[in-house]
């Protein structure tokens, strides 16, 4: 998959962490006085507890005692770098390098400071020197070319490394990112084709090539690659991530449905990819309503595999947009049966139950919801509305009065509470209280307008 600059940097995290660890140069201290050692090791101690200012004060004393000691400037460079004073860090490390030329520890720190200061050309020169110590620094050189946007030099380097070391996933991903940034689609396709020839057992490469073909409108080539992938991996479910879309577009529904079920039931395919497949299917069904009976079937497959009731919420919201409230509520209620602690799903279901005059279900569900969300005023209101509709006025008055304690400064919901309390008192025969709350409701709603 395509990667970002940040991901490339993190790919080196373990290597860089090792490079930035405390580098022991105590053996290089040379013949020093006790006074020097006292201040030097105090500097190391202060650096260890991240008191860089104090560490630098101690090192400056050491510099006065021994102005030509490379280790002092080496430690100064590290402390300045930790303070993000990169120019001072570079100056100190350059002085250390002059006093002890081409020492690995100093060069690593100097390269890193140049990189942090975004002086990439200088960092690249040092990275090339470091390769003579360890060829793993080719990877650091690659990152520096990438971050400095020297893509032609980087591609040339990647070609050299592939020829020398063989193809690697890291270098392959770098190439893909370069092609993406430079919109060099033809080179990207050629690289993917060559990668398949070199390593035909990598499913991801086939999928990437199919994606590029599809993005460029090369449908025939994309479908042929998907078929080639299926021949290579006859038991693969991943290949159906590509095939289902071709079948939908060619209106070969039976094959599309088979592919969709395989994708949604595959444990090796990530949930976000499955959501995309399901969304494509739902959009297809929107234009082909004769297949609506299949939506629940594929949703159940997805939910059973992922254990994620969120899928029912998304399907319910989809059918709400189509104004198919009966189908929407069937998905909402299915989702709640597995996850009643989803407040958004709970609220949407209750509001739809009220809209469909399912007051018994709304009264029971809002009561259960209050056990989980006891401070949500909307649940008290819905419970009260449902009980009023069921003519359980005494229970409605109790729950609505109790819910008033959780009201925030929201005139709309406050007016709704007062209106429902007026209905409750009217049902109880208390006309005075009913009128009182009706007036409160009117007053509250006036503040909205």
What does the alpha-carbon distance between residue 427 and residue 424 come to, in Å, rounded to a whole number?
A: 5
pLDDT of residue 1: 33
Cβ count within 10 A of residue 341: 10
Report residue 191's pLDDT band, with 50, 70 and 90 as the boundaries.
confident
Is pLDDT at 212 greater than 80 in this prediction? Answer: yes
Residue with token string 């080179």: 187
**Residue 257 domain flag:** yes
Judge if 289 and 325 occupy the same domain.
no
Judge if 254 and 379 occupy the same domain.
no
Judge if 31 and 102 occupy the same domain.
yes
pLDDT of residue 63: 94
Look at residues 241, 154, 232 and name the one whose alpha carbon lies nearest to residue 199.
232
Least confident range of 82-91, 214-223, 306-315, 322-331: 306-315
**Which alpha helices (H) appear in 218-307, and where do they start and end?**
219-232, 240-249, 253-264, 271-287, 293-306
Quote the pTM value: 0.47
pLDDT of residue 327: 79
**Residue 421 domain flag:** yes
Report residue 3's pLDDT band, with 50, 70 and 90 as the boundaries.
very low
Least confident range of 126-130, 215-219, 252-256: 215-219
Is pLDDT at 289 greater than 70 in this prediction? Answer: yes
Span 45-56, average pLDDT: 94
Domain that holds residue 327: 309-355
pLDDT of residue 22: 41
Helices (H) and strands (E) in the chain, counts: 26, 0
Span 410-420, average pLDDT: 90
Span 59-71, average pLDDT: 93
pLDDT, greater one: 284 or 435? 435
Residue with token string 């009913």: 434
pLDDT tens for each residue of 92-103: 999 999 999 989
Judge if 143 and 47 occupy the same domain.
yes
**Residue 205 domain flag:** no
pLDDT, greater one: 296 or 39? 39
What does the alpha-carbon distance between residue 213 and residue 75 come to, in Å, rounded to a whole number?
A: 53
Span 25-51, average pLDDT: 81
pLDDT of residue 318: 75
Domain stop point among 129, 148, 167: 148
What's the chain's length in residues?
449
Least confident range of 57-71, 258-272, 343-357: 258-272
Q: To the nearest whole percent, how much of the chain has pLDDT over 70?
A: 91
Is pLDDT at 449 greater than 70 in this prediction? Answer: no
**Residue 72 domain flag:** yes
Domain stop point among 102, 130, 148: 148
Domain stop point among 148, 170, 200: 148
What does the alpha-carbon distance between residue 361 and residue 35 come to, in Å, rounded to a whole number?
A: 84
Judge if 390 and 333 occupy the same domain.
no
What does the alpha-carbon distance between residue 131 and residue 157 come to, in Å, rounded to a whole number?
A: 13
Residue 214, both tokens: 């599809």
pLDDT of residue 319: 77
Residue 237, both tokens: 């479910």
Q: How far apart are the first and last CA of the chain?
A: 53
**Residue 93 domain flag:** yes
pLDDT of residue 28: 62
pLDDT of residue 190: 85
Cα separations (Å) of 429 from 403, 432, 440?
22, 9, 18
H or E segment to which residue 383 belongs: helix 377-389
pLDDT of residue 336: 86
Residue 386, both tokens: 């449902």
Domain count, the chain: 4
SS (H, E, C) 93-154: HHHHHHHCCCCHHHHHHHHHHHHHCCCHHHHHHHHHHHHCCCCCHHHHHHHHHHHCCCHHHH
What does the alpha-carbon distance between residue 79 and residue 65 come to, in Å, rounded to a whole number?
A: 19
pLDDT tens for each residue of 339-377: 778 898 999 999 999 999 999 999 999 999 999 999 999
Rg value, the chain, Cα: 34
Judge if 279 and 383 occupy the same domain.
no
pLDDT, greater one: 158 or 368? 368
DSSP for 195-232, written as a single string? HHHH-TT-HHHHHHHHHHHHHTT-HHHHHHHHHHHHHH
Query: Which sign, positive or negative, has the C-alpha torsion 252, 258, 262, 265?
Result: positive
pLDDT of residue 278: 82
What does the alpha-carbon distance between residue 135 and residue 378 come to, in Å, rounded to a whole number?
A: 65
Q: Phi-psi category of 49—alpha, beta or left, where left has phi over 0 and alpha has psi -120 to 50? A: alpha
Report residue 89's pLDDT band, with 50, 70 and 90 as the boundaries.
very high
Residue 235, both tokens: 């038991």
**Residue 166 domain flag:** no
Is pLDDT at 29 greater than 80 in this prediction? Answer: no
Judge if 26 and 96 occupy the same domain.
yes
Is pLDDT at 208 greater than 60 in this prediction? Answer: yes
Is pLDDT at 410 greater than 70 in this prediction? Answer: yes
pLDDT of residue 193: 87
Span 309-335, average pLDDT: 81
Report residue 307's pLDDT band, with 50, 70 and 90 as the boundaries.
low
What does the alpha-carbon distance between residue 363 and residue 383 come to, in Å, rounded to a whole number?
A: 5
**Residue 304 domain flag:** no
Please say whether the beta carbons of 35 and 66 come within 8 A.
no
User: Which residues are within 8 A (CB) of 237 and not within 5 positions of it... i.e. 6 or more apart?
Assistant: 262, 263, 265, 266, 268, 269
Judge if 277 and 403 occupy the same domain.
no
Report residue 10's pLDDT band, with 50, 70 and 90 as the boundaries.
very low
Q: How does DSSP classify residue 23?
A: P
pLDDT of residue 59: 95
Judge if 23 and 107 occupy the same domain.
yes
CATH label of the domain that carries residue 417: 1.25.40.10
pLDDT, greater one: 110 or 248? 110
Residue with token string 């202060």: 46
pLDDT of residue 306: 63
Judge if 371 and 317 occupy the same domain.
no
Judge if 350 and 361 occupy the same domain.
no
Residue with token string 């299949």: 294
Judge if 340 and 415 occupy the same domain.
no
Please say whether the beta carbons of 212 and 2 come within 8 A.
no
Cβ count within 10 A of residue 423: 21
**Residue 198 domain flag:** no
């Amino acid at each position: 998959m395509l990667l970002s600059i940040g991901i490339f940097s993190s790919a080196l995290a373990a290597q860089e962490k090792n490079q930035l660890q405390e580098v022991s140069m105590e053996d290089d201290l040379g013949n020093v006085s006790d006074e020097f050692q006292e201040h030097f090791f105090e500097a190391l101690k202060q650096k260890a507890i991240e008191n860089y200012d104090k560490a630098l004060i101690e090192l400056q004393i050491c510099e006065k005692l021994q102005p030509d000691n490379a280790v002092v400037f080496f430690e100064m460079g590290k402390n300045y770098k930790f303070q993000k004073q990169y120019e001072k860090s570079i100056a100190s490390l350059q002085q250390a390098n002059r006093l002890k030329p081409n020492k690995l520890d100093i060069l690593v720190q100097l390269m890193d400071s140049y990189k942090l200061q975004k002086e990439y050309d200088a960092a690249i020169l040092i990275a090339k020197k470091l390769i003579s110590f360890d060829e793993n620094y080719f990877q650091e050189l690659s990152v520096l070319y990438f971050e400095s946007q020297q893509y032609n030099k980087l591609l040339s380097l990647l070609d050299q490394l592939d020829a020398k070391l063989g193809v690697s996933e890291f270098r392959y991903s770098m190439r893909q990112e370069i092609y993406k940034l430079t919109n060099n689609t033809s080179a990207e396709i050629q690289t993917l084709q060559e990668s398949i020839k070199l390593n035909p057992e990598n499913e991801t490469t086939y999928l990437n090539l199919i994606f590029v073909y599809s993005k460029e409108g090369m449908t025939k080539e994309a479908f042929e690659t998907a078929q080639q992938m299926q021949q290579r991996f006859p038991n693969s479910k991943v290949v159906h991530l590509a095939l289902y879309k071709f079948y939908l577009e060619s209106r070969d529904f039976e094959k599309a449905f088979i592919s969709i079920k395989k994708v949604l039931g595959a444990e090796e395919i990530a949930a976000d990819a499955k959501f995309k497949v399901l969304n494509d299917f739902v959009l297809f069904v929107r234009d082909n309503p004769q297949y609506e009976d299949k939506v629940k079937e594929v949703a159940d497959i997805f939910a059973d595999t992922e254990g994620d009731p969120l899928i029912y919420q998304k399907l319910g919201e989809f059918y709400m947009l189509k104004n198919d409230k009966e189908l929407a509520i069937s998905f909402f209620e299915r989702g709640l049966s597995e996850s009643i602690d989803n407040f958004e799903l709970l609220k949407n279901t209750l509001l739809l139950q009220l809209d469909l005059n399912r007051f018994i279900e709304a009264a029971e569900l809002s009561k259960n919801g209050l056990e989980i969300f006891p401070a949500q005023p909307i649940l008290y209101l819905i419970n009260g509305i449902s009980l009023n509709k069921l003519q359980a006025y005494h229970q409605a008055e109790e729950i609505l009065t109790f819910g008033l304690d959780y009201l925030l400064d929201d005139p709309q919901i406050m007016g709704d509470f007062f209106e429902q309390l007026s209905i409750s008192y009217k049902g109880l025969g208390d006309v005075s209280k009913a009128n009182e709350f009706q007036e409160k409701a009117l007053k509250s709603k006036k503040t909205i307008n």
